[in-house]
Amino acid sequence: MSVSQQTKAYGIKHGIKKVRGVYVMRKKNPALRKLRKRLPPPSIHGHRVWSSSFLIMDYLKHYPIDDGAKVMDIGCGWGMLSVYCAKTYNAKVTAVDADRWVFPYLRVHAAMNQVKVKTKQEKYQKLKRKTLAKQDFIAGGDICFWDNLVEPLYKMIKKAVEEGVPYIIVADPGRPPFLRLAKRCKKKFGAELVPWRVDDPKTAAGYLMVIRK
């Protein structure tokens, strides 16, 4: 059964839910179970959809990107933010993650939602200036959870700002490493730390570090 056929067959009540117009696999979804049996488990916490992605999606309803924007989703995991931007804003999305084993989950979600998302296996600090310079929007959720991630993320953001990227968001529940990153970015780039909360698909609260030109 193809992904599109599965979507029709199982619907929202049988292994698939719809959040902000995007189909997301539930734990009991047959395609998800098959992926977990067939593939090595993702590392670096890429084993589920994290709530900060939904914080960014909700924020974008109020402060949207342009139609057809070039988007980079860093630390993309299963790619729900990537899929959302591609589906909602017709964005040209590049999903970046250091772990290649998250991409099969992203591809299933992209196919289920009938969108295309380009994938790139890379670490934050190795993203080149010419790649960052092409983006209209760079975002990532739950990507600053260890102390050793602060410096590479800061350097990546610094390069992006210097290359003229007009819109950057990093979201997090409020972990100390993220707050240190936000403090540095506020001082150097005028970043704003915005508290945000969603109640769908579940209640979640956190912060958005937003840099806009």
- Domain extent listing, the chain: 3-212
- The pLDDT assigned to 156 comes to 97
- Per-residue model confidence (pLDDT) at position 78: 87
Residue 186 pLDDT: 97
Q: Is the pLDDT of residue 48 over 70?
A: no
What is the predicted pLDDT for the residue at 43?
Answer: 64
Q: Is the pLDDT of residue 148 over 70?
A: yes
Per-residue pLDDT tens digits for 157-210 = 999 999 999 999 999 999 999 999 999 999 999 999 999 999 987 888 999 999
Structure tokens at 83: 């899929």
Does the pLDDT of residue 2 top 60, yes or no? no
Q: Distance between CA 76 and CA 82 in Å, rounded?
A: 7
Dist. CA 189–CA 11, nearest whole Å: 45
pLDDT band at 19 (very low <50, low <70, confident <90, very high): confident
Categorize the per-residue pLDDT at 40 as very low, low, confident or very high, splitting at 50, 70 and 90.
Answer: low
pLDDT above 70: residue 42: no
- In the chain, what percentage of residues exceed pLDDT 90? 64
> Has residue 153 got a pLDDT over 70?
yes
Please tell me the distance from the alpha carbon of residue 89 to that of residue 113, in angstroms, as a whole number: 13
Residue 75 CA to residue 181 CA, distance in Å, equals 16
Given a cut of 80, whether residue 33 has pLDDT beyond it is no
pLDDT mean over 41-68: 82
What per-residue confidence (pLDDT) applies to 124?
Answer: 86
195 SS3 class:
strand
The strands making up 92-97's β-sheet, listed across from edge to edge, are: 118-121, 92-97, 70-74, 137-141, 167-172, 204-212, 192-198
How high does pLDDT run on average in the chain? 88
CATH architecture type of domain 3-212: 3-Layer(aba) Sandwich (3.40)
Neighbours of 139 (CB within 10 A): 29
Q: What is the pLDDT of residue 83?
A: 96
Non-local CB neighbours of 28 within 8 Å, separated by 6+ positions: 14, 15
